[in-house]
Every structure is written in structure tokens, then in C-alpha cells.
Chain A
């Protein structure tokens, strides 16, 4: 699985959009980009995934650059409950394991 690079921490004001970047310059053509998050003391939670098109669901939007070497997770209206560690993972479809990096610790401030 390709390696990802994320900033170790970010802050965002409540109600604003939180934009979390991820670099995955060695991603291969059959690897998806996944985002999970881990709220303090809880198990990781799936957020969204994508291959090359931008994706949106009820939790977030995922923007993948055209060359697929980086992506951005967008939480459109961050709340205090979005404070968590966010993990960007690239993974081949059908691969069994998730390889977690250090992630980005996102703090939403009132």
C-alpha cells in the first residue's frame, strides 16, 4: 500500500469548513483513497473513500487531484464533535488490512 503524508495537527473554528490535506504521491492506479477518523477513546470510524472522482456523502467531501497524488477531506461545517484524529489511507480494493499512519489531529475550537 502506498504511503501517505498528513500534517500532524490542525485547528479549525466551529462552523467553518475544515480542510484536511493528504499527500500520496506513490499511489498506484488501482489504489483507493480512504478516510477514517478516531474520536478520543473510540474505535476508528469510516468517513469516505474515492478513486479519482470527487466524492460527497453526509459526513464529508473528498477532493482528489487529477494526478491523484494528493487529496483533501472537507468537513463543510465543523462542529466540536468533529474533534478527532483523521487518517488518510490508500489501499488496493479487496486488500484485507488498513495501514494507519500518524494521521492529523483536528481540533475544532468554539
Chain B
């Protein structure tokens, strides 16, 4: 029944490692997003994909590489993890053109990444 799901829920890793977070939505949406929420609880968009095409890239280091194999999935791969990457990462999805372009976003439960 889960609309937007993310795996894993928790991720603890060492500096310098490479890790991936997966996101899947079963809402039939065509647009997916990654947001980052840091320790101060600010929530900021990182990327957005529409129909597997990158449409937003908010000045994120190129160590972060999103990949969208199909409209229902948007994965986030992070190379050479740094301490500052520790945060909660939220995936979201929406339907572009929903009722006049209102584009309501539905969020996943988040992945808490801790870099040691």
C-alpha cells in the first residue's frame, strides 16, 4: 500500500565510502524528487526528474548522482561520503499537470544517513 517508499531507512557508513539510497513510488506519478533535511531541520530540494529526465539540479556536489531507471524509481548514489552528508534524505513524487499544474508532492518516510 505504501505510496512512496525508500530503502534503507537507516544508513551508517564511514567517510569515503560510496552508498546508494533507493526510492520507488506506486502512484503513477511522472515526477520524482530528492530533498535533504540537515541537522538544523532545513528541508531543501536537491534534484527533480520528470519522465526520467533531470529537470532540477540545485547546486549539489557532483558526488551525488541521481539515476531514474523508469518513472517509478529514482535512486540516489553518493560517492566519497563526507561528514557533512549526514542528514535525512526524502524522496517525493508528483504528477505534473495534476489539476491545473498544482503538482501536489507526496513524500517518502526518509533515509537517515550517518557518516562517521
Residue numbers of A with Cβ under 8 A of B are: 32, 38, 41-46, 49, 85, 87, 93-100, 102
Asked whether any CB of chain A lies closer than 8 Å to the CB of B43, the reply is yes
Count chain A CB atoms within 10 A of each CB in B55, B102, B106 and give the residue with the most: B102
8 Å CB contact of A97 from B33, B90, B109 = B33
Q: Is the CB of B105 within 8 A of A95?
A: no
| A49 (CB) vs chain B CBs: closest residue | B102
Q: Is the CB of A46 within 8 A of B33?
A: no
Asked whether any CB of chain A lies closer than 8 Å to the CB of B77, the reply is no
Bound-state CA distance A44–B88 (Å) is 12
Bound-state CA distance A32–B104 (Å) is 12
Beyond A41-B110, A43-B107, whether A96 also contacts B102 by CB under 8 A is no
Residue numbers of B with Cβ under 8 A of A are: 4, 31, 33, 41-45, 48, 50, 55-56, 58, 90, 92, 96-97, 100-110
Q: Is the CB of A93 within 8 A of B90?
A: no
The interface residues of chain B lying within 8 Å CB-to-CB of A46 are 104-106
Q: How far is the CB of B101 from chain A (nearest CB, A)?
A: 3
Q: Is the CB of B100 within 8 A of A85?
A: no
Q: Is the CB of B103 within 8 A of A43?
A: no
Q: Is the CB of A96 within 8 A of B107?
A: no
The interface residues of chain B lying within 8 Å CB-to-CB of A98 are 45, 105
| B55 (CB) vs chain A CBs: closest residue | A96
The interface residues of chain B lying within 8 Å CB-to-CB of A93 are 100-103
Can you list 26 A-B pairs, Cβ within 8 angstroms, ordered by A? A42-B109, A42-B110, A43-B92, A43-B108, A43-B109, A43-B110, A44-B43, A44-B90, A46-B104, A49-B104, A87-B43, A93-B101, A93-B103, A94-B96, A94-B97, A95-B103, A96-B31, A96-B33, A96-B56, A96-B103, A97-B48, A98-B45, A100-B43, A100-B44, A102-B41, A102-B42
